[in-house]
Amino acid sequence: MKAIFKIEEYLPKTTQIVVRFARLHAPEPIEKYHAVAVDYSRLDCYDSESFVKSLMREVGNYQVKKYEDKESIINESETISGKLDLSSLVGRTIECKVENDRKEILKMRRVEL
């Protein structure tokens, strides 16, 4: 997921910036998302790259995830578990996770040591 941020105010006297965050693919303009005040003296301001990374690590990641969780769900869905019956899934909307890593579920028999 990619994110965007927009600095609304720069307040050097109090070492603060007022920033808005959103997902790059957010359904609303970034101005629709709440701004937050951030103390930039706690961020890594060595260069642009380090600033962006620390801003996202300290504040942005949480804000973006929070908005994503709050956005309205258009598609009603359900979860499934246990024995698979593909025919029973036809026409149903199933909830699942998007994962980037190569972790997989390895089902195995229980081994008593």
Partner 1 sequence: MTIKAAGNPLEFSEIEAEFGAQSPRSLGAYRHSQTVNGLTFNGIDTGIPSGSNDEIKFSDFYGKSLNIVVDCFSNPSTDEFRVNAKSKYINNDIVIINPTTVSKKQNGAKITIRVNKKFGSNKNSVNHCALRTGTWSNPAALIVDLGSNAKVYGAGGNGGEGADGVGANNVGENGDKGGDGSSGLGIQHQGTVINFRSGAIIRRGYGGGGGGGGGRETSKVDRRAGGGGGGGGAGFPIGLGGVGGKPQGGTNKEAAKGSGGSNATETTGGTGGNGGDNQDQAFGGKGGDGGQNGKLAEPGDNSSIENQTNKEPPDNYSSVAGARGINGAAIRKTSNSISFSFGINNGTAEGSTTAIGVA
Stretch that binds partner 1, among 36-44, 79-87, 95-103, 105-113 (CB under 8 A): 36-44
Provide, rounded to whole angstroms, the least separation between the CB of residue 38 and partner 1.
5
Among 30, 36, 52, 56, which residue sits at the site for partner 1 (rule: CB under 8 A)? 36
Q: Tokens 């961020």, residue?
A: 43
For residues 26 and 36, which CB has a smaller minimum distance to partner 1 in the complex? Answer: 36
Select the residue interacting with partner 1 from 62, 71, 77, 89 (CB under 8 A): 62
Q: How far is the C-alpha of 39 from the C-alpha of 50, rounded, in Å?
A: 15
* Segment interacting with partner 1 (CB under 8 A) among 22-30, 31-39, 85-93, 97-105: 31-39
> Which residues have a Cβ under 8 Å from the Cβ of 36 and sit 6 or more positions away?
18, 19, 20, 21, 59, 63
Burial of 65 (0-12, 13-18, 19+ CB in 10 A): middle
Please, which residue, 29 or 77, has the CB nearer to partner 1? 29
Q: Report if residue 38 touches partner 1, rule: CB under 8 A.
A: yes
Say how far apart CA 68 and CA 73 lie, in whole Å: 10
Nearest to 44 by CA among 35, 34, 33, 55: 55
- 37 near partner 1 (CB under 8 A): yes
Q: Which parts of this chain interact with partner 1 (CB under 8 A)? A: 9, 11, 14, 16, 18, 34-39, 42, 58-59, 62-63
